């Protein structure tokens, strides 16, 4: 099932949370939805699931409007909200029965689905415990089981690994990848490694607007339009002198001190140009010597910082 988000605008009073946001999630895709705090991820997910009516625009699930037919589209969507609200006093199994009943399941079908969810989400050893007694990782599994109980074709997961320890994160990611083989999944996260490990495609939003869209590989290529070199130079004590000399090179666009605590500089060349030879020549002319000249490969984290930085 395809999700089409079309020209969403949303205001909370005077606060604009979504700004002409449009994108598609293709059938069978696991799409990562990234953005800094307050970017509008949860608002978008609520609009997709029909729990919030956007101020303007609409969402279509396989062509069906969510604002016009929220009850119909809700049946096709499983939703794991942020902070996964669960009933702590309910045993896991009773909670899943309750969640199934809310989705209109009954009789043998309900029993079969609950059994299936216990199996898929690895809840067999915990199924008779109260939810409040479970570890965070198992609570999250219960949340996923609840979201999947009616076998929805679309799964919306809001920060599914928040608060989990590293082992639990790996387990939940693996579970999402397994489930994602058969479903259309939209997963929001702050964690770039998570998105890179789990998702086929990545969207980045900032201040309610789409700022990047592509596979992690494509985003890296788009961002690598500028050559970036890590440069360290010996033979000169005055770092500012080297800094100024680098800035004077015609092919150089930006020079910065390295922010990874290593000495040296990060040099960004102008679009389509390379500064490597000129840096080498500059050293020779000044009687300095290069101790490092390495191209810097951007990772998703750098791209994220670049597209979401304050203007």
Residue with tokens 């990772």: 299
Instruction: Closer to ligand ATP by CB, 40 or 264: give it.
Output: 40
**Tokens of residue 292, six digits:** 């490092």
- For residue 188, the minimal CB distance to ligand ATP (Å) is 7
- For residue 93, the minimal CB distance to ligand ATP (Å) is 31
Is the Cα dihedral 305, 306, 307, 311 positive or negative? Answer: positive
User: What DSSP string runs through 16-70?
Assistant: EEEEEEEEEE-TT-EEEEE--TTSSHHHHHHHHHTSS--SEEEEEETTEETTT-H
User: What DSSP string runs through 138-188?
Assistant: HHHHHHHHHHHTT--SEEEEESTTTT--HHHHHHHHHHHHHHHTTSEEEEE
Instruction: Closer to ligand ATP by CB, 30 or 52: give it.
Output: 52
Contact 107, 101 (CB under 8 A): no
Instruction: Closer to ligand ATP by CB, 17 or 156: give it.
Output: 17
Is the Cα dihedral 84, 201, 154, 123 positive or negative? Answer: negative
- For residue 294, the minimal CB distance to ligand ATP (Å) is 34
- For residue 42, the minimal CB distance to ligand ATP (Å) is 3
- For residue 267, the minimal CB distance to ligand ATP (Å) is 33
- CA 279, CA 294: separation in Å to the nearest integer? 12
Instruction: Closer to ligand ATP by CB, 41 or 113: give it.
Output: 41
**Tokens of residue 285, six digits:** 């002319």
- For residue 127, the minimal CB distance to ligand ATP (Å) is 31
Angle between helices 216-223 and 300-308 (to 10 degrees): 60
- For residue 192, the minimal CB distance to ligand ATP (Å) is 13
Local structure of 76: helix, strand or coil:
coil
Q: Give me the half-sphere count of Cα atoms (radius 13 Å) on the Cβ side of residue 33.
A: 30
Instruction: Closer to ligand ATP by CB, 146 or 189: give it.
Output: 189
Contact 307, 212 (CB under 8 A): yes
Contact 114, 92 (CB under 8 A): no
Instruction: Closer to ligand ATP by CB, 10 or 150: give it.
Output: 10
Instruction: Closer to ligand ATP by CB, 105 or 195: give it.
Output: 195
- For residue 11, the minimal CB distance to ligand ATP (Å) is 9
- CA 90, CA 297: separation in Å to the nearest integer? 50
- For residue 6, the minimal CB distance to ligand ATP (Å) is 18
Instruction: Closer to ligand ATP by CB, 209 or 258: give it.
Output: 209
Instruction: Closer to ligand ATP by CB, 35 or 264: give it.
Output: 35
Using CB under 6 A, list all residues that contact ligand ATP: 12, 15, 17, 35, 37-43
**Tokens of residue 219, six digits:** 């985003």
């Amino acid at each position: 099932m395809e999700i089409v988000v079309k020209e969403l605008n949303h205001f909370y009073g005077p606060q604009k949370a979504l700004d002409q946001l449009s994108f598609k999630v293709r059938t069978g895709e696991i799409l990562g939805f990234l953005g800094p705090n307050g970017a509008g991820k949860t608002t978008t997910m609520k609009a997709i699931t029909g729990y919030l009516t956007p101020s303007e625009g609409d969402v279509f699930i396989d062509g069906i409007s969510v604002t016009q037919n929220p009850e119909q589209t809700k049946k096709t969507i499983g939703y794991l909200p942020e902070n996964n609200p669960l009933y702590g006093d309910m045993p896991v199994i009773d909670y899943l029965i309750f969640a199934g009943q809310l989705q209109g399941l009954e009789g043998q079908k309900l029993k079969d689905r609950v059994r299936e969810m216990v199996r898929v989400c690895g809840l067999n050893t915990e199924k008779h415990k109260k939810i409040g007694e479970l570890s965070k990782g198992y609570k999250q599994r219960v949340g996923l089981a609840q979201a999947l109980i009616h076998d929805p074709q679309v799964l919306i997961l809001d920060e599914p690994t928040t608060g989990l320890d590293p082992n639990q994160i790996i387990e939940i990611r693996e579970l999402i990848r397994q489930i994602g083989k058969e479903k259309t999944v939209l997963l929001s996260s702050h964690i770039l490694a998570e998105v890179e490990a789990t998702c086929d495609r990545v969207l980045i939003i900032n201040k309610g607007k789409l700022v990047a869209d592509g596979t992690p590989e494509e985003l890296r290529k788009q961002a690598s339009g500028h050559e970036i070199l890590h440069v360290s130079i010996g033979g000169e004590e005055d770092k500012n002198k080297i800094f100024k000399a680098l800035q004077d090179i015609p092919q150089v666009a930006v020079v910065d001190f390295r922010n990874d605590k290593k000495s040296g500089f990060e040099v960004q060349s102008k679009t389509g140009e390379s500064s490597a030879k000129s840096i080498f020549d500059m050293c020779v002319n000044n009687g300095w010597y290069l101790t490092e000249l390495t191209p810097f490969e951007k990772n998703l984290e750098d791209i994220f910082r670049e597209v979401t930085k304050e203007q």
